[in-house]
Amino acid sequence: MRIQVINPNSSASMTATIAAAARAVAAPGSEIIAATARGGPVSIEGHYEEAVATIAMLEEVRRGEAAGCDAHVIACFGDPGLLAAREIARGPVLGIAEAAMHAACFIATGFSIVTTLTRTRIIAEQLVRNYGMEHACRRVRATDLAVLELEDPASDARAKIIAACERALDEDGSGAIVLGCAGMADLTAAVAQALGVPVIDGVAAAVKFAEALVGLGLGTSKRGDLAYPLAKPYRGGLAHLAPLAALPA
């Protein structure tokens, strides 16, 4: 099966990290098609950036659909544009935050999310509420690391993340850690080894859930609000985003 893994920010270096994490867990029959947003912010750390990045992310979903991808992964912890992407996709669309939280629930009764900036922490807290995960998410913790600092060896990101995770285990009563940024995917093994508890990278979790759903023959429901967008003209600079020719339900 072909799984499109989309980095909604425009940093190709982060896409390389995401693609490596996806390929490390993909089953032998799964092809990971990594895509980087062709425009928009270099990292996503707020609502405005999520909104702008969503347009470029949806363009990639359209390309992936046209190329016959069986599933799509949105590899940013804000899950930007997740429901919009589901509207235009036949197969499943997984957001890494939703996937990671569900994975955590299978292996622990409580988890903490360790993310980047405080403003991002607030967005993650909203996702926890949206996904009905308050029962299991004990706390969302910020590290005050900007997303692109994760790629800078001088930022000491690994040590800061491990320190935040240790505080989470000590103070939150959590049994597992969810890493709250796609750019942390390459740190998963090191953090897990340092902590001795399950550490979940949403990129890997989303790829495995995508494989499971496609393997079960399940795609996105086309009944109700996730039906294909209504056919109508779009104007101006966004005219190219008018829905593709209606596909069979």
Contact set with ligand 2AL (CB under 6 A): 9, 43-45, 76-78, 115-116, 120, 147, 180-183
CB 68, min distance to ligand 2AL, A: 26
Listed in sequence order, the residues at least 6 apart from 201 whose beta carbon sits closer than 8 Å to its beta carbon are 21, 96, 100, 179, 184, 185, 188
CA-to-CA distance for 151 and 203, rounded, in angstroms? 17
Which has the closest alpha carbon to 57: 70, 69, 39? 39
CB 154, min distance to ligand 2AL, A: 19
Listed in sequence order, the residues at least 6 apart from 7 whose beta carbon sits closer than 8 Å to its beta carbon are 14, 15, 18, 34, 35, 36, 37, 75, 76, 182
CB closer to ligand 2AL, 82 vs 147: 147
CB closer to ligand 2AL, 30 vs 120: 120
CB 245, min distance to ligand 2AL, A: 32
CB closer to ligand 2AL, 57 vs 214: 57
CB 227, min distance to ligand 2AL, A: 28
Strand partners, 36: 7
Q: Which contiguous run of DSSP H or E holds residue 133?
A: none
Backbone angles phi, psi at 201, to 5 degrees: -95, 125
CB closer to ligand 2AL, 11 vs 90: 11
CB 115, min distance to ligand 2AL, A: 5
Give whole-number Cα distances, 226 to 8, 93, 127, 231, in Å. 21, 11, 19, 14
Parallel, antiparallel, or unpaired: how do β-strands 71-74 and 2-7 relate?
A: parallel
CB 123, min distance to ligand 2AL, A: 7
CB closer to ligand 2AL, 6 vs 214: 6
CB closer to ligand 2AL, 30 vs 36: 36
